Amino acid sequence: MLDFECFLNTGMNPKDLLMQLKIETCYRSAPSLYSEVYQISNGTGRLYWLYELESSRLIQLCRDFRIKYDLPQAMSIMNIFKHPRFVEEYQKVNPAKWITVPIEEMSIIYRIVNEGLPKDVHYPSGLDGHEYDLKTYGKIK
């Protein structure tokens, strides 16, 4: 699976990153999701998210990109993904979305970052085959 989170460009300071969550779905009809939560100076936060492109749309985007920039037919898809202009094209087709997270809801995120998940949660996982990858960064005072 492509690590499509490399296509999320928030423009935020990496030091303000509190949490990353990736949900990989097991169904073709539901796209995987990658999100990041950043702390903002006024106590609120900003949540960014990006859905994975369907395989057929991603392959078409690669084909169109190779033609547009006159790249060799034998160029691997992984090399296309690493091309800086491809990241720009991907972001045009599949832009990230964001919302401001109010202080009240940020308190829940702060608690998870500082204390970890509640003791009764072993690890977030879906009973329907979804995979969750949750990472937290730093301690908030």
Per-residue pLDDT reduced to its tens digit, 40-80? 988 899 999 999 888 888 889 999 999 999 999 888 888 88
- For position 28, what pLDDT does the model report? 67
Q: Which of 58, 68, 130, 47 lies closest to 94, judged by CA?
A: 58
Q: Could you tell me if 26 and 88 lie in one domain?
A: no
* Counted domains in the chain: 2
Q: Which of 56, 54, 11, 18 lies closest to 35, judged by CA?
A: 18
Q: Could you tell me if 27 and 13 lie in one domain?
A: yes
Tokens for 105?
């809801």
Structure confidence at residue 84 as a pLDDT band (50, 70, 90) = confident
Tokens for 49?
């998210």
Q: Could you tell me if 3 and 71 lie in one domain?
A: no
Q: Could you tell me if 123 and 64 lie in one domain?
A: no
Q: Could you tell me if 49 and 61 lie in one domain?
A: no
Q: Could you tell me if 49 and 104 lie in one domain?
A: yes
Structure confidence at residue 127 as a pLDDT band (50, 70, 90) = low
Angle at 89 between CA 68 and CA 6, to 5 degrees: 135
Task: Give the model confidence (pLDDT) of 107-120 as tens digits.
Answer: 999 999 998 887 77
Q: Which of 68, 66, 56 lies closest to 31, judged by CA?
A: 56
Average per-residue pLDDT in the chain?
A: 85
Q: Is the pLDDT of residue 8 over 50?
A: yes
Q: Could you tell me if 49 and 99 lie in one domain?
A: yes
Q: Could you tell me if 49 and 100 lie in one domain?
A: yes
- For position 81, what pLDDT does the model report? 85
Task: Give the model confidence (pLDDT) of 24-35 as tens digits.
Answer: 887 766 788 899
Tokens for 81?
């993904």
Share above pLDDT 70 across residues of the chain, in percent, rounded to a whole number: 89
Q: Could you tell me if 46 and 104 lie in one domain?
A: yes
Q: Which domain holds residue 74?
A: 54-93
DSSP 67: H
Q: Could you tell me if 72 and 134 lie in one domain?
A: no
